[in-house]
């Protein structure tokens, strides 16, 4: 049993409650089946998330494969995942840092052309970073997505550990993978 780092009391283990993964910067990601710990004495809490890089790749795949235009928090998530500064991403997209900032803050909608470029930059960067091809028929995917305005509120997306611990073989940005997730 784990002890609290603040007061050394035994922590309560929570297994059956979904965990809202706000640390991702996205308010609609929920993790099912991860271990959570809570100190009933002082209120300290934490969660145990195995292989977080794979989880973030799964989240990135979910974002890239969605049919609606990217929302601000999703733009920020993709940029942070590839380790780019916002000014560098703005430069890569040939736009001003002010416009890019408005996208990330949700004050301006990303146009379809830049939306697809952002997705492509993420896919190519992640493929390069991991050292294997993560996409198959990406052109066809990009033709089918980002054609309609994003809803005011994103739908809840839930992931179980088995999805990121066992399910990231082969191209994860492929027509079959993207259509399966829609």
CATH code: domain of residue 127: 1.10.260
Candidate from 86-100, 103-117, 155-169 with smallest mean pLDDT = 155-169
Greater confidence, 89 or 2? 89
- Assign 23 to helix, strand or coil: helix
pLDDT tens digits, 58-107: 999 899 988 889 999 999 999 999 999 999 999 999 999 999 999 999 99
For residue 139, the number of C-alpha atoms closer than 13 Å in the C-beta half-sphere is: 0
**Domains in the chain: how many in total?**
2
* 135 in the same domain as 68: yes
pLDDT mean across residues, the chain: 85
- Assign 117 to helix, strand or coil: helix
Gap between the Cα atoms of 3 and 143, Å rounded: 52
Residue 169 pLDDT > 70, yes or no?
Answer: no
Q: Which residues contact 62 (CB under 8 A, 6 or more apart)?
A: 157, 181
State the pLDDT confidence band at 142, using cuts at 50, 70 and 90: low
Q: Say what the pLDDT of residue 182 is.
A: 42
State the pLDDT confidence band at 152, using cuts at 50, 70 and 90: low
Gap between the Cα atoms of 133 and 173, Å rounded: 9
Q: Say what the pLDDT of residue 37 is.
A: 94
* 110 in the same domain as 33: no
* 33 in the same domain as 94: no
State the pLDDT confidence band at 29, using cuts at 50, 70 and 90: very high
* 83 in the same domain as 41: no
For residue 17, what are the domain limits? 12-48
Q: Would you say 182 and 65 are in contact if contact means Cβ atoms under 8 Å apart?
A: yes
Q: Which helix (H) or strand (E) holds 135?
A: strand 135-136
* 38 in the same domain as 71: no
* 85 in the same domain as 19: no
Gap between the Cα atoms of 119 and 113, Å rounded: 10
DSSP label at 68? Answer: B
Residue 5 lies in a domain: no
DSSP label at 49? Answer: -
CA-nearest of 142, 86, 155 to 115 is 142
* 32 in the same domain as 75: no
CA-nearest of 152, 156, 176 to 68 is 152
State the pLDDT confidence band at 176, using cuts at 50, 70 and 90: low
Residue 3 lies in a domain: no
* 59 in the same domain as 40: no
Write down the pTM of the prediction.
0.78
CA distances from 146 to 129, 149, 160 (A): 25, 8, 26
Q: Say what the pLDDT of residue 66 is.
A: 87
Q: Say what the pLDDT of residue 13 is.
A: 93
State the pLDDT confidence band at 137, using cuts at 50, 70 and 90: low
């Amino acid at each position: 049993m784990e002890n609290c780092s603040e007061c050394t009391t035994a922590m309560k283990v929570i297994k059956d409650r979904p965990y809202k993964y706000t640390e991702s910067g996205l308010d609609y990601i929920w993790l099912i089946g991860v271990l959570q710990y809570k100190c009933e004495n002082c209120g300290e809490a934490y969660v145990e998330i195995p292989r977080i890089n794979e989880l973030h790749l799964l989240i990135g795949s979910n974002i890239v494969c969605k049919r609606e235009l990217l929302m601000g928090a999703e733009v920020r998530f993709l940029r942070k995942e590839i380790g780019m500064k916002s000014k560098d991403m703005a430069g890569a997209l040939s736009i001003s840092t002010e416009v890019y900032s408005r996208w990330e803050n949700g004050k301006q909608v990303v146009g379809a052309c830049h939306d697809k470029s952002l997705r492509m930059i993420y896919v190519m960067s992640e493929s390069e970073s991991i050292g294997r091809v993560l996409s198959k028929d990406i052109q066809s995917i990009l033709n089918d997505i980002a054609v309609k305005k994003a809803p005011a509120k994103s739908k809840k997306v839930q992931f179980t550990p088995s999805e990121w611990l066992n399910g990231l073989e082969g191209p994860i940005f492929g027509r079959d993978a993207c259509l399966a997730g829609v």
